[in-house]
Amino acid sequence: MSELPPKTHNLGALSQELIAKGRHYYVPNYKPREMILDHGKGSTVWDLDGQDYIDLGSGIAVCSLGHQDPDLLAALDTQSRKLWHTSNIFFTEPPIRLAEKLVESSGFAKKVFFSNSGAEANEAAIKLARKYAADQGKPPEKRNIISFNGSFHGRTLATVTLTAQPKYQIGFEPTPAGFIYCDIFNDEAAIEALVDDSICAIFVEPVQGEGGVMPAKAGFLKHLRALCDKVGALLIVDEIQAGLGRTGTLFAYEQDGIKPDVVTLAKALGGGLPIGAMLVGDKAADVLQFGTHGTTFGGNPVMAAVALASVTKLATPAIAANVKKQGDALRKGLEAINAELGLFKEIRGRGLMIGAELVAEHAGKSGDISELARKEGTLVLVAGPNVMRFLPPLVITDAELAEGLKRFKAALMKYKAGIA
């Protein structure tokens, strides 16, 4: 293993001042890294001190078209000079155009509800499922919702309860009732044991993101579709992280050959601006009637205009081709690194949603490695303490990916050598 020269990055006075103010004024629920990101272009971002970083995280699958995409900038500039907000008492053009695009692209949806975030889209889906069951004459005790161990659906009280990871719920009890957890993802027998006429919906991610980048195995979503049909429950597919081109198709469920009843979206939908959406198929399209649900900012015309430009571009064959090309290159690059350094037990995922699970000897070290990668000039995410998570922009170039992998390898070499 060749000796690696030390890499230094000294924080400037303004960066130090801002970091200190952030620590002073922010509620301490986050642990931001010691840097002030300032601007970006493509798949590269720069901090206030001029250090560049290859962005292999996209702001957690948000900036799928990279930074400063010209089409998104044009949509933002045009709409920002026309109308910013009206409320949902009135129609505006951008959210209508966006709803039309999502419905026509989905292959199943008939109606759309816009929210401000993924958690809010999932909240809407929870309410929709319960109201659907109520409309079918089911009493409250027969309106239960199933989710899977390792899932992640949001941080509001209902969505964090839907999230089948108790660590996120500690201290927030009592949590809402009516949520049931399937202990084993991708296990037909485990889910069959839970499904009866007391279930109104099953929530599932085609690829669990926060749960370690775990894809649904072939045929599993079809099995869930059949179970839902058997008991009259809704199949709700959370594509907040896996959707909109990230796994190689515009919607990840397309690869599983199913038609869901509901799909939730966010993250890449706005290309960096906050917007979420719930797409609803025939069965439940008219469940949420006037007054049953709402939001002040959902469907905001500025957000919707940018989201329309984002979805339009993400739906192109060029994006799908680049996801395939760079997804293969990312896997091969990680496999080559692993062949030399032997740090990963498994490399898995779909498209440009890849997880690299650490071997037992290095369990719990994903955060340390992520920080070393940052110091080497590449931004890499984690999916729990044992998995490195890669979610680069879907427009990442050959050169950007190669440089990102080079810097990541340098970080891993320092990690193995014990150089912090």
Residue of 418 and 109 predicted with greater confidence:
109
Q: State yes or no: pLDDT of 219 exceeds 60.
A: yes
Average model confidence (pLDDT) across the chain: 96
CATH assignment, 83-314: 3.40.640.10
Name the strand (E) or helix (H) holding 277.
strand 276-281
Residue-wise pLDDT for 138-178, tens only, equals: 999 999 999 999 999 999 999 999 999 989 999 999 999 99
**In the structure, what pLDDT confidence band is assigned to residue 120 with cuts at 50, 70 and 90?**
very high
Q: State yes or no: pLDDT of 193 exceeds 70.
A: yes
Question: Starting from the edge strand earliest in sequence, which strands make up the sheet with 387-390, in order?
Answer: 344-350, 353-358, 387-390, 381-382
Structure confidence at residue 420 (pLDDT):
54
- Residue 26: exposed, middle, or buried by beta-carbon count in 10 A (0-12, 13-18, 19+)? exposed
Q: What is the number of other CB atoms lying within 10 angstroms of the CB of residue 82?
A: 12
pTM of the model: 0.95
Structure confidence at residue 5 (pLDDT):
53
Structure confidence at residue 8 (pLDDT):
59
Out of 5-9, 49-53, 112-116, 185-189, pick the least confident: 5-9
Task: Tell me the three state secondary structure of residue 231.
Answer: helix
| Amino acid making up residue 148 | F
Q: State yes or no: pLDDT of 130 exceeds 70.
A: yes
Residue-wise pLDDT for 264-278, tens only, equals: 999 999 999 999 999
Structure confidence at residue 1 (pLDDT):
40
Name the strand (E) or helix (H) holding 215.
strand 214-215
Domain boundaries, given as residue ranges, for the chain: 13-68+317-417, 83-314
Residues for the chain: how many in total? 420
Q: State yes or no: pLDDT of 301 exceeds 70.
A: yes
Structure confidence at residue 419 (pLDDT):
72
Mean pLDDT of 194-217: 97
The DSSP annotation for 10-67 comes to: PPPHHHHHHHHHHHHHS-TT----S--EEEEEBTEEEETTS-EEEESSHHHHT-TT-B
How many percent of the chain have pLDDT more than 70? 98
Strands 144-148 and 199-204: parallel
364 contact partners, CB below 8 Å, separation of at least 6: 385, 386
Q: State yes or no: pLDDT of 44 exceeds 60.
A: yes
Structure confidence at residue 4 (pLDDT):
52
- Asked if 49 and 58 count as a contact pair (C-beta separation under 8 A), the reply is no
CATH assignment, 13-68+317-417: 3.90.1150.10
Q: State yes or no: pLDDT of 87 exceeds 70.
A: yes
Residue-wise pLDDT for 340-369, tens only, equals: 999 999 999 999 999 999 999 999 999 999
Q: CA-CA distance, 300 to 295, in Å (whole number)? A: 10
Mean pLDDT of 67-86: 98
Residue-wise pLDDT for 314-339, tens only, equals: 999 999 999 999 999 999 999 999 99
